[in-house]
């Protein structure tokens, strides 16, 4: 028997609404990472909590992050091509929350309070206690809706905390592996 696909309803919206999109995507459990960059212009560090970090290719080693286009991070990443990602441990929930607060505290104060070392390849802060860190150089900037996708070549990758457990984000809240 031949299956006949239902034709789309003529009155259906052209795409999912923001509420539908959010509700569906909140069901995706993600690791939480901190994207960091050293701004060559003012010498300051910037950090942003992100769940959009994705492994893309092994050879060459490529990763992807998605950054909101009007954010400070997007602005800094438009003038420097090296950056880093620290994958947060379950004990670093406060760090995730603090680096997701827009404009509340300056990044300078946050980093002064956050033990870190400077990545040798990127100049960006690498957070102490992270499960893993990668330092990247931007290969491609891809505009995507209200975000910019950054495809980065991994220059250096480390696993400073191999026994750690990941911080997760699921259904609108931070979680840990049960």
Residues that bind ligand FMN (CB under 6 A): 32, 48-52, 66-68, 71-73, 99-100, 102-103, 169
The smaller minimum CB distance to ligand FMN, of residues 120 and 140, is found at 140
> What are the start-end ranges of the H helices in 41-81?
72-77
Task: Give the DSSP H or E segment for 107.
Answer: helix 107-112
Count of beta carbons in the 10 Å neighbourhood of residue 73: 22
CB of 71 to ligand FMN, least distance (A): 3
Q: How far is the CB of 84 from ligand FMN (least distance, A)?
A: 15
Q: Which is nearer to ligand FMN, 47 or 123 (CB)?
A: 47
* 48 versus 126: smaller Cβ distance to ligand FMN: 48
In whole angstroms, how close is the CB of 51 to ligand FMN at the nearest point?
A: 4
The strand order across the sheet containing 45-50 reads 45-50, 33-38, 82-87, 132-144, 147-158, 62-68, 54-57
């Amino acid at each position: 028997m031949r299956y006949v696909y239902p034709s789309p309803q003529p009155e259906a919206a052209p795409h999912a609404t923001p509420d539908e999109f959010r509700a569906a995507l909140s069901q995706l459990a993600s690791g939480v990472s901190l994207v960091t960059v050293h701004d060559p212009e003012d010498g300051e560090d910037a950090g942003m909590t992100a769940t959009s970090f994705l492994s893309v290719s092994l050879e060459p080693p490529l990763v992807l992050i998605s950054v909101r286009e009007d954010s400070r991070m997007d602005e800094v990443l438009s003038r420097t091509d090296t950056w880093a990602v620290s994958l947060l441990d379950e004990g670093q929930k406060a760090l995730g929350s603090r680096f997701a607060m827009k404009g509340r505290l300056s990044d300078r104060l946050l980093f002064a309070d956050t033990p870190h070392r400077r990545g040798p390849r990127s100049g960006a802060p690498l957070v102490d206690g992270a499960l893993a860190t990668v330092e990247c150089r931007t290969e491609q900037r891809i505009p995507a809706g209200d975000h910019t996708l950054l495809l980065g070549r991994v220059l250096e990758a480390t696993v400073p905390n191999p026994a750690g457990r990941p911080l997760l984000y699921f259904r609108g809240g931070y979680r840990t592996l049960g």
